[in-house]
Chains A and B, each alone.
Chain A
């Protein structure tokens, strides 16, 4: 029997999902739905937008206004949706390649505008849908089907990118620490501005197998053992950060929100007129 959460928020007629056994996407999707549930959002006023890739299939399973767009363009479509109706809570589900390679331009500009959209990146370090090519977040030296000798490309730190581009809330979580991920998504949705949450996921089928990272449990264990909370991370000497990564809330500031500013402009012009 599906849980109450599944019954209330999933389009159960469309399940089971297409994701491989051991994929972390289900955990991230659940964290997102739990966040929406604990905030008590009106489902009619939530719009979930995605691009193309494994993670971008998630909206099809979710009982909101859902928009599965073209590769890399989720944030540009979502910008149109949010501008057209700022009352909507707009959430973007995207992958590492979708958001930071083909969609990289839309990402930095959505951050710059600080438009009130919550973006959750399902980062599995690979292009899973197309069979495991290296992505902008595949660590240098790791293999993909298009990096048979190891990836020469340096990889992005997506959270640093979002922070530098102007996002007002930035956090990173993992599919091991799902409860904390959920809390970060809650905070992201509550933030009036552009929120960026990177969810470190697992792809045992392609990335894991190609790089001998073991099975789903091994890969999740890796996330458990190498993720360090922001508070501890800040106290850690540099040499102990080697091979580890920071999770938790990384950046939170107040900045004017885009649609609010535009609505003020409308109000001032209409007052004059």
Chain B
């Protein structure tokens, strides 16, 4: 058992290494830089590779190249860099290239308040790249959870052959907490399924019966195949056929949306008898949790619903929640991004309100308590 005082960004690297990360390509940006620094230090010691690329786009491109060549790969960035990476995140989606993209969010738009926290990339993580697609976005809220969620991000990337977005924010990225890492843990590690057939029979983008995604060969292993960002058929070669496009693009959405039971994770706190719910995630969920305790002590039946999988959203769970409570408050460090999703899902069943902030300051438990009390007593 290792007990350590660890920073969030440090826990992310530790989790990535535990998951089997062997390749990191990135570009320095506050507040994610420690992830690059620690990867640069750790990877060569385990025979892995680190490269600091010339820009953010190069960071994601090399990450995808590393993954296609068989290594578990990661890159990390913050809002401005995440924007620059978007085109190639779409490339990762259509070519089904597993990788983890960490976005330690900071205040925006543009350079904004570069050292201040924000949760402003909730929608960018869903719709940042162009075209119709689905995406997996995870958002832990403590140092320990960053460690395990990073492992899970790699597992989901490998299992579903897709880029997985790991959202952190400046607060949890830079926060230090005690973390216990067992020496011999029983953490599940998932590796992409590789082909075993004769190379002449390999169809690089055909899904075998009973599988979720195609088997993935690494470059250099004898399966000479083609990877393209164009719409392609099961062989991997481009096609302009509408049926091929329909089949591929819907399969890429369905492989995620049809497996929400496996992908969606969340925490429920004091919701059993609650008639008021707060929906909150990342660092702000911690303020929300304390606010729930305070409000409970004052007689309010409040609970917290904390999505850990942000996308695909926990739709079923939010509908159930909405049927039990008279109001949901979405508390997030932005102007109301996830509120749009919660209101879409829960708005037909209950009242949905929002509280947010975009001035670089955090949201305190006291503010949340005041907002709920004022509204409830109005």
Contacts and interface: CB of A to CB of B under 8 A. Distances in A.
A14 B239 CA distance: 11
A77 B224 contact: no
Contacts of A273: 45
B16 to A, nearest CB: 16
A83 B51 contact: yes
Interface in B127-156: none
Interface in A32-64: 43-45, 47, 49, 59-60, 63-64
B62 A77 contact: yes
Interface stretch (B52-60, B169-177, B189-197, B369-377): B52-60
A73 B58 contact: yes
A81 B69 contact: yes
Contact of A84 (B66, B230, B237): B66
B220 interface: yes
B112 interface: no
Contact of A79 (B65, B71, B73): B65
A76 interface: yes
Contacts of B63: 80
B91 interface: yes
B65 A80 contact: yes
B226 to A, nearest CB: 5
A79 B62 contact: yes
B45 A85 contact: no
Interface residues of B, number: 42
Given A77-B65, A84-B71, A105-B55, A270 B228 contact: no
The DSSP consensus for interface residues of chain B is: mixed
Interface residues of A, number: 39
A85 B220 contact: yes
Among B23, B25, B67, B68, the most chain A Cβ lie within 10 Å of the Cβ of: B68
B228 A85 contact: no
B185 to A, nearest CB: 22
Contact of A47 (B58, B91, B219, B230): B219
A7 B230 CA distance: 25
Nearest to A79: B62
Contact of A80 (B69, B91, B218): B69
Among A65, A270, A273, the most chain B Cβ lie within 10 Å of the Cβ of: A65
A67 B237 CA distance: 11
A191 B47 CA distance: 25
A109 B227 contact: no
A262 B229 CA distance: 30
B226 A68 contact: yes
B66 A68 contact: no
A88 interface: yes
A76 B229 contact: no
Interface of B: 22-23, 25, 44-45, 47, 49, 51, 53-55, 57-58, 61-71, 73, 87-88, 91, 218-222, 224-230, 237-238
29 contacts: A47-B219, A60-B226, A63-B224, A64-B224, A67-B226, A73-B58, A76-B57, A76-B65, A77-B65, A79-B53, A80-B61, A80-B62, A80-B63, A80-B69, A81-B68, A81-B69, A83-B23, A83-B65, A84-B23, A84-B71, A85-B70, A85-B220, A105-B58, A106-B54, A106-B61, A109-B58, A265-B44, A270-B45, A270-B47
